[in-house]
Homo-oligomer: A and B are copies of this chain.
């Protein structure tokens, strides 16, 4: 994931190691999510949509079907079907948008929240346990690095 560039100095080697580790974490995350499609009898997109809803809910930001389409990079038609599945399975509800008559607001049901944390809870705890091994100064450096990286990777969303 960072070839055609051969690290020369020790500093550059350290850079390469970090980028390799980032890739590994990212892959582990992806497998964790795709593992959920088994655990929750759902496909990857549906899980990704659920995750978006969980995250936005924490930020007190509403989610429209359009937002889901953009985030998952699928068409609005596919998003309609996706929402139909999630509504049928009782994970979300469609509500009218308070100010835009065309739009909808998609909200999680309590069942969906419970199911999500039943599946993810254990791994989230494991991740927290790892992070707690690091002191505040270290965590601050790590968080800053990750945020910088995020900015470099994709300036949108």
Seen from chain A, the residues whose Cβ lies within 8 Å of a Cβ on chain B are 1-5, 10-12, 14-15, 17-19, 21-32, 34-35, 37-38, 48, 51, 54-55, 58, 71-73, 117, 120-121, 123-136, 138-143, 145-154, 157
Q: A28-B150, A142-B142 provided; 8 other pairs, C-beta below 8 A?
A: A1-B54, A2-B124, A5-B124, A5-B125, A18-B142, A25-B25, A35-B73, A138-B141
Q: How far is the CB of A50 from chain B (nearest CB, A)?
A: 12
Q: How far is the CB of A29 from chain B (nearest CB, A)?
A: 4
Q: How far is the CA of A63 from the CA of B35 in the complex (A)?
A: 21
Q: How far is the CA of A126 from the CA of B1 in the complex (A)?
A: 13
Q: How far is the CB of A72 from chain B (nearest CB, A)?
A: 8
Q: How far is the CB of A89 from chain B (nearest CB, A)?
A: 21
> Which among B19, B120, B157 is the interface contact of A31 at CB below 8 angstroms?
B157
Contacts of A120 in B (CB 8 A): 1
Q: How far is the CA of A49 from the CA of B130 in the complex (A)?
A: 30
Query: Does B117 lie within 8 Å of A4, measured CB to CB?
Result: yes
Query: Does B139 lie within 8 Å of A18, measured CB to CB?
Result: yes
Query: Does B24 lie within 8 Å of A154, measured CB to CB?
Result: no
15 chain-A/chain-B pairs, Cβ below 8 angstroms:
A2-B127, A11-B139, A18-B131, A18-B142, A19-B128, A21-B142, A24-B150, A25-B25, A28-B149, A28-B150, A34-B73, A126-B152, A127-B152, A131-B145, A134-B145
Contacts of A58 in B (CB 8 A): 3
The 10 closest A-B pairs by CB, nearest first: A21-B146, A14-B139, A126-B152, A26-B29, A15-B131, A28-B153, A130-B152, A130-B148, A18-B143, A28-B154
